[in-house]
Amino acid sequence: VPSDADASDVVHTRTPSAVVWDLDQSGEGALEQVEDWREQGLGFPVLFLWDSQGLDEEDSDAAKALGVQLLENWSEDIVLGHIRKHLLVKAAVTGRLVLSTCTIDLDRRRIQKNGESQSLTTTETELLAYMAARPGESISRDELLRDVWGYQAQVVTRAVDYTIRRL
């Protein structure tokens, strides 16, 4: 995103698959713009990048609550990995998943069960979409870490377990 105005224009002319925003180039109003998009029910992935000046702790927490991926001191490979992840997940499944016990709205990142609605994190939504696109398939932890979390190399993490347990 070259500027705040450009970001708003892009989204109003077409809904993007993802938005990558370099805060070192144009960070003013970025968080407020994402808040507006989320209030409009737009759930596409947003990545904030920066090298020198990032977000303070309060803004960082607010960005995470909006589902923004934060990439500090990023490299081209890391950004491409995240973009690849988001495009794979977006291509997987969109819309609603209706299960016997609940309804999941992947576009709005919401789950409804017994008349109560709860928001899902971006990662939870991406994990559900990824798995729903592969019914009956066994999916390895490494595949999930690569395609949903965007990790390029083998890592030791319990992120998959934590996210599945929360769901």
pLDDT tens per residue across span 18-61: 788 887 776 677 888 888 888 887 777 788 887 766 678 888 88
Rounded distance, CA 4 to CA 47, Å? 14
pLDDT at 13 over 80: no
Res 88: pLDDT = 60
pLDDT at 79 over 60: yes
pLDDT at 69 over 70: yes
Higher-pLDDT residue of 44 and 140 is: 140
Which are the contacts of 151, defined by CB distance < 8 A and separation ≥ 6? 81, 145, 157
Mean pLDDT of the chain: 78
* Helix/strand/coil for 78: helix
DSSP single-letter state for residue 101: S
